[in-house]
Amino acid sequence: MRSLSHVCSYYRRTLALGLKKRQKPASIPASQTKINVCYTVCFVGGSGDPTFRCGGCGKHFKEMTSLKRHARYVCGKAAVFKCPYCPHSTKLRANLKKHINDKHDPNPLVFRCQFCSFAAKQKVSLVRHRILCHTDKFKPD
């Protein structure tokens, strides 16, 4: 069960999402809370960068939208999208599509280096390879 409250290490006080001071989390029906996560800004790891913490699993996110997406589609959810080719399953349809393209595509798009036998699935990987390994032969655009 996800906790509605979160002790923020930066502010040193207990904060709760949508709760009045004397109201206990157990007294609020789940239907009345939109997302059971903490929207408290925390400062993690001494970096000084604010992050948003999920009250369900404790993960931290740089952006509020990432936390909301995580809470709605990932946190506490079962993996429902199953790969038809292997036992892999995931919680998001986009992740399944990426998995199928990466692992099961019969004709993967391959970018080959013209100077050696290096090959990559992504053009950016080939460009990085050329810059790192063939600087004398290759000048990026």
Whose CA is closest to 100, among 81, 85, 121, 79?
Answer: 85
Rounded Cα gap, residues 77 and 22, in angstroms: 30
Q: Residue 48's pLDDT is what?
A: 55
Both structure tokens of 61: 């996110």
User: Length of the chain in residues, anyone?
Assistant: 141
| Rounded-to-10 torsion of CA 59, 65, 70, 72 | 140
CB-based contacts of 100-109 (< 8 A; 24+ apart in sequence)? none
22-48 in b/e form (b: 16+ CB < 10 A) is eeebeebeeeeeebbbbbbebeeeeee
Q: Residue 33's pLDDT is what?
A: 43
pTM beyond 0.85, yes or no = no
Q: Residue 15's pLDDT is what?
A: 46
Rounded Cα gap, residues 19 and 66, in angstroms: 23
Q: Residue 45's pLDDT is what?
A: 52
pLDDT along the chain (141 residues), means of 10: 44 42 42 44 54 80 84 85 94 91 82 91 90 77 54
In the block, residue with structure tokens 């090959």: 119
> Is residue 87 helix, strand or coil?
coil
